Amino acid sequence: MKVALVTGVAGGIGFATAELLLENGIAVVGMDVLPQMPKELEGEFTYFQGDLSNKEARENYVKTAMDKYGKIDILVNVAGVAPKVRADILEMTEESYDFVMNINTKGTLFLTQAVANIMKENNSGSIVNISSMSGYTSSTSRGEYCISKAGVTMITTLFADRLAEYGIMVNEIRPGIIATGMTDKVKAKYDALIDGGLLPIKRWGEPSDIANAVWTLCNGSLPYVTGQSIDVDGGFHIRRL
Ligand SMILES: NC(=O)c1ccc[n+]([C@@H]2O[C@H](COP(=O)([O-])OP(=O)(O)OC[C@H]3O[C@@H](n4cnc5c(N)ncnc54)[C@H](O)[C@@H]3O)[C@@H](O)[C@H]2O)c1
């Protein structure tokens, strides 16, 4: 049985990803900062509560999976946060920068490093990072988030380069506007933008749209693809005249 780690598993995209992996017979060890899962998942699922930005929590998370299964085949880095308060880049605080970067970028980086060193022993593995359209799109009221996601893209590039010799593929999904807890608060804004023609595909993305793309990247069907970013965004990235 293949074993996957999925962070942010209690959230919209993490939950949908874990659900799909479990449906496909993968054992999932999920991590989230929330005390418990919002809904039950069916299948070989283990929940680990911890803060991705905390070194000890990351170590205990990996240890939990290794103690139970002795290997890790797949890592899906989903956990991420938006700034608690949207503030103009001219007013952004260091506290907010540290909060967002420590989870989205530093946490993702060092969890990936820990798992990569385990996968390397087996000469196989697949890592999928969830970055964002915000990694290349300016939102001046949440600059720290944009910077954190641009950093995730470079994490993808660096580990793809470094781990190819061990047969470990590292790719990423760049979600567009996806209906989850993260976008709840700005629903009216995005409804209006989508109605106004922002996206060639005129609808919100669903967590399952992202989960399906993650599965495609980690199910072994693309063994010659690494360091790739896939925009799952309804065509948002297309420049239009
Ligand atoms: N929803 C979107 O439109 C969208 C777009 C682009 C990228 N993303 C990215 O997708 C990922 C998943 O987001 P989502 O939309 O499912 O939002 P979400 O808020 O539903 O899920 C995020 C999950 O991460 C968890 N989390 C937060 N801080 C954590 C920490 N320190 N340690 C462990 N877990 C932590 C949260 O508790 C939550 O369950 C994020 O990285 C987000 O940046 C989302």
Is residue 183 assigned to a domain? Answer: yes
Q: Which residues contact 68 (CB under 8 A, 6 or more apart)?
A: 29, 46
Give the tens place of pLDDT for each residue, 151-194.
999 999 999 999 999 999 999 999 999 999 999 989 999 999 99
Does 145 qualify as catalytic in the annotation? Answer: yes
Q: What is the distance between the terminal CA atoms of the chain, rounded to a whole angstrom? A: 49
At 39, is the pLDDT very low, low, confident or very high (cuts 50, 70, 90)? very high
CATH at residue 49: 3.40.50.720
Q: Is 5 in the pocket of ligand 1 (CB under 6 A)?
A: no
Cα–Cα dist 199/207, whole Å:
17
Res 236: pLDDT: 98
Exactly one of 136, 145, 190, 224 is catalytic; name it.
145
Instruction: Note the helical H segments in 123-172.
Output: 143-163
Q: Which structural domain, as residue segments, surrounds residue 55?
A: 3-232
Domain assignment of residue 241, yes or no: no
Whether ligand 1 lies within 6 angstroms of the CB of 192 is answered as: no
Domain count, the chain: 1
Whether 240 maps to a domain, the answer reads no
Whether residue 113 is contained in a domain is answered as: yes
Which secondary-structure segment (H or E) carries 212?
A: helix 207-218
CA of 9 to the centre of ligand 1 (A): 9
Label residue 44 by pLDDT band (50, 70, 90).
very high
Model pTM above 0.85: yes
Q: 10 near 182, Cβ under 8 Å? A: no
Q: Note whether residue 73 is domain-resident.
A: yes
For 40-46, what is the mean pLDDT? 97
In a domain, 146, yes or no: yes
Q: Does 237 reside within a domain?
A: no
Burial pattern 144-175, b for ≥16 Cβ within 10 A else e, equals bbbbbbbbbbebbbebbeebeeeebbbbbbbb
pLDDT of residue 196: 97
- SS3 category, 191: helix
**Residue pair 74/129 in contact by the 8 Å Cβ criterion:** no
